[in-house]
Amino acid sequence: MAVGLIGTGMMGVPMGLRLLAAGHDLRIFNRTPVKAAPLLAAGAVWCDEPMALAAASEAVITLVGGPADVEAIYLGPEGLIEATAPGGLLLDMTTSSPALARRLAAAAAARGLDLLDAPVTGGVGGARDGTLSILVGGEAAALERARPLLQALGRTVTLQGPAGAGQRAKLVNQTIVATTLLAVAEGLALALEAGHDTKALMAAIEPGTAGGFVLNNHGRKMLAGDFAPGFFVRHLLKDVELALAAGEEEGLRLAGLALVRDRLRRLVEVGQGESGVQALLLAVERTEDA
Amino acid sequence: MAVGLIGTGMMGVPMGLRLLAAGHDLRIFNRTPVKAAPLLAAGAVWCDEPMALAAASEAVITLVGGPADVEAIYLGPEGLIEATAPGGLLLDMTTSSPALARRLAAAAAARGLDLLDAPVTGGVGGARDGTLSILVGGEAAALERARPLLQALGRTVTLQGPAGAGQRAKLVNQTIVATTLLAVAEGLALALEAGHDTKALMAAIEPGTAGGFVLNNHGRKMLAGDFAPGFFVRHLLKDVELALAAGEEEGLRLAGLALVRDRLRRLVEVGQGESGVQALLLAVERTEDA
């Protein structure tokens, strides 16, 4: 399929490489052209602006920074919804806001386009290995059109509901992950501060009620003092802010998540924005801080 | 072995039954005698007071409400440390405070007794099936003496460190579980409030980074509106208060855990103390509450 990809960052590059490997023709655009180099080397074609890319593609995937970028690319002057011919297929795989996803879908429908929100979980490793979980919001028929592309990118592709539901599912996931990181950080801080034998501790608690991906992965990194990024603090902060806003739209005040946001902000302020999210351990408060 | 058991509540009864089934002689005492009935029916012998039980036992297990009960039974007038002959073995399996466990161990050592703190995870089901994880603090030699008893009760018996380390490990576990419950409650509240397809949601997020025991078990109960107790809200509140105090002793202010404590207290105040801990879903705040 002739596919356009806008956004060739940490996720976009490995995802684009998988589309090329699956035999799709790939046109790309990125605000920072140098980041697209690995895709150009693998056979992708550069486009100087999104309109030209849209005109030449049967389907366009966007993977940009956040809702403001998404809004500009889709709804701005010379935006994708204007630039795409009726019958076109647009997939926003950026983690963004459910409300914006609904606005995009309505604007697309008015022009006879299919549009899906399709954010992912599984990180850079999942993007490279094609094992992402892709959370889709929109019409089932549009998902069937997109499936050949999505199957090259992810292992699990689930229709979460109408437009916006993919974004909401992603934000539910990030809400749980973010506050579970706080849980693990506070528990392990107690062990570390007391000089507890953390090997004996993990042997006892990992298989039990405290066990899960966050303890087994991020928790082990906390104990090792390894704050190298898998997923950046500043990216989790962005997702947490989106989730808090989505909660407010539903009339919810997610107080645990707000506490995590405050800690992530503090980490960014002290220059830890590009540490891995397990750096939340460093934000556990001491009584003398109070 | 001639074993004494003080405390025949929700955990003590199934644990006592396992000791009897493993061929140990069991003497029991409980403040509320009627709760001991299943053990008496299975062959345990009633003692009218802890001193008589201690005098007739090679090892004594205590499983009582909390630190105040533990302190009274061990250190009070006619307490176990006075009543036990030198060379005796005492095991406190109550979830209690690391600092108190260290005081008990010092008092026991001064009288030539072996004493271990040995709280458990795995709940009533684990107690019934003998699959508890037993977190031991104290001397390795004392653990070897206790091992025949502990093997009848749990699948995993780990020496966590010196006196108090068993309690600390338990409180680390409860810290992680409690705040992960908050994480899952807030995430799923967002889904439920928006009328999201929760079956599609769980299929997508359970295998991923949000996955773990709490989501897979308590989360499923939240989605089903099933607040029947496995583990009582009021018991988790007790453990959370102990963990906060243990954190303070180490100079830590566990702010996420303090938020969970406030919510658990609110649940107790509105009569949900004997609901299951998944009732934390009901404590997610609405914007109109603010």
Position A116 scores a pLDDT of 98
Min Cα–Cα distance to chain A from B166, Å: 9
Asked if B177 reaches chain A (Cβ–Cβ under 8 Å), the answer is yes
| Residue pLDDT, tens place only, B55-92 | 999 999 999 999 999 999 999 888 999 999 999 999 99
Give the number of other CB atoms < 10 A from CB of residue A49.
10
* The two structure tokens encoding residue A85: 């011919």
Contact B197 A247 (CB under 8 A): no
Contacts of A176 in chain B (CB under 8 A): 183-184, 186-187, 205, 210, 215
Contact A179 B178 (CB under 8 A): no
Q: Using CA coordinates, name the residue in chain B closest to A160.
A: B200
**Candidate list B170, B199, B221, B238, residue with the active-site label:** B170
Give the number of other CB atoms < 10 A from CB of residue B20.
17
Q: Compute the distance between CA of residue B221 and CA of residue A252 in angstroms, rounded to an integer.
A: 20
Non-local (6+) Cβ contacts of B149 within 8 A are B1, B3, B19, B24, B59, B61, B91
Position B77 scores a pLDDT of 86
Non-local (6+) Cβ contacts of A273 within 8 A are A232, A233, A234, A237, A267
Min Cα–Cα distance to chain B from A173, Å: 6
Instruction: List, as one string, the DSSP characters of B103-118.
Output: HHHHHHHHTT-EEEE-
Q: Compute the distance between CA of residue B257 and CA of residue B180 in angstroms, rounded to an integer.
A: 10
Q: Compute the distance between CA of residue B189 and CA of residue A248 in angstroms, rounded to an integer.
A: 12
DSSP A15: H
Confidence grade of residue B289 (pLDDT, cut at 50, 70, 90): confident
Asked if A278 reaches chain B (Cβ–Cβ under 8 Å), the answer is no
Contacts of B210 in chain A (CB under 8 A): 172-173, 176-177, 180, 213
Q: Compute the distance between CA of residue A265 and CA of residue A46 in angstroms, rounded to an integer.
A: 36
Confidence grade of residue A289 (pLDDT, cut at 50, 70, 90): confident
Token look-up 């008990």 returns B104
Instruction: Report the residue from A190, A214, A260 with minimal CB separation from B246.
Output: A190
Asked if B269 reaches chain A (Cβ–Cβ under 8 Å), the answer is no
Q: Return the ∠ at Cα B44 (arms to B43 and B50), rounded to 5°.
A: 170
Q: Return the ∠ at Cα B252 (arms to B251 and B257), rounded to 5°.
A: 150
| Residue pLDDT, tens place only, A232-271 | 999 999 999 999 999 999 999 999 999 999 999 999 999 9
Torsion of CA B191, B195, B199, B204, to 10 degrees: -40
Min Cα–Cα distance to chain B from A169, Å: 6
| Residue pLDDT, tens place only, A159-182 | 999 999 999 999 999 999 999 999
Contacts of A197 in chain B (CB under 8 A): 160-161, 165
Where is A257: in which H helix or E strand? helix A255-269
Q: Compute the distance between CA of residue A64 and CA of residue A93 in angstroms, rounded to an integer.
A: 8
* The two structure tokens encoding residue B66: 């909390």
Instruction: List, as one string, the DSSP characters of B54-73.
Output: HHT-SEEEE--SSHHHHHHH
User: Do the beta carbons of residue A173 and residue A148 sit within 8 Å?
Assistant: no
Q: Using CA coordinates, name the residue in chain B closest to A177.
A: B210
Confidence grade of residue A290 (pLDDT, cut at 50, 70, 90): low
Task: Reduce the DSSP state of residue B169 to 3 states and report it.
Answer: helix
On the question of pLDDT at B219 being above 60, the answer is: yes
Q: Using CA coordinates, name the residue in chain B closest to A179.
A: B183
**B122-134 mean pLDDT:** 94
Contact B209 A179 (CB under 8 A): no
Instruction: Report the residue from A122, A123, A194 with minimal CB separation from B250.
Output: A194
Asked if A106 reaches chain B (Cβ–Cβ under 8 Å), the answer is no
Give me the residue spans of the domains in chain B: 2-162, 168-283
pTM of the model as a whole: 0.96
Min Cα–Cα distance to chain B from A252, Å: 4
C-alpha pair distances (Å), A278 with each of A71, A222, B116: 31, 6, 34
Contact B169 A204 (CB under 8 A): yes
Percent of chain A predicted with pLDDT > 70: 100
Contact A208 B213 (CB under 8 A): yes
Q: Using CA coordinates, name the residue in chain B closest to A194.
A: B250
Contact A178 B183 (CB under 8 A): yes
Any idea which fold B2-162 has?
A: Rossmann fold (3.40.50)
Position A77 scores a pLDDT of 86
* The two structure tokens encoding residue B58: 């090679």
Asked if A170 reaches chain B (Cβ–Cβ under 8 Å), the answer is no
Q: Using CA coordinates, name the residue in chain B closest to A168.
A: B191
Listed residue (A45, A65, A175, A170) closest to A116, CA to CA: A170
User: Do the beta carbons of residue A44 and residue A36 sit within 8 Å?
Assistant: yes
Any idea which fold A168-283 has?
A: N-(1-d-carboxylethyl)-l-norvaline Dehydrogenase; domain 2 (1.10.1040)
Token look-up 């609110």 returns B266
> Which amino acid appears at position B151 of this protein?
Q
| Residue pLDDT, tens place only, A34-91 | 999 999 999 999 999 999 999 999 999 999 999 999 999 999 888 999 999 999 999 9
Q: Compute the distance between CA of residue B97 and CA of residue B239 in angstroms, rounded to an integer.
A: 9
Confidence grade of residue A5 (pLDDT, cut at 50, 70, 90): very high
Asked if A247 reaches chain B (Cβ–Cβ under 8 Å), the answer is yes
Strands (E), chain B: 2-6, 25-29, 45-46, 59-62, 89-92, 114-117, 120-121, 132-137, 154-161, 252-253, 285-286
On the question of pLDDT at B243 being above 70, the answer is: yes
DSSP B289: G
B170 is annotated as an active-site residue: yes
**A25-33 mean pLDDT:** 95
Position A288 scores a pLDDT of 83
Confidence grade of residue B121 (pLDDT, cut at 50, 70, 90): very high
Position B180 scores a pLDDT of 98
Position B290 scores a pLDDT of 56
Contact B208 A165 (CB under 8 A): no
| Residue pLDDT, tens place only, B255-269 | 999 999 999 999 999
Q: Burial, B166: exposed, middle or buried (Cβ in 10 Å; 0-12, 13-18, 19+)?
A: buried
Asked if B132 reaches chain A (Cβ–Cβ under 8 Å), the answer is no
Contact B173 A209 (CB under 8 A): yes
Mean pLDDT of chain B: 96
Q: Compute the distance between CA of residue A54 and CA of residue A84 in angstroms, rounded to an integer.
A: 6
Q: Compute the distance between CA of residue B269 and CA of residue B234 in angstroms, rounded to an integer.
A: 10
* The two structure tokens encoding residue B256: 């996420």
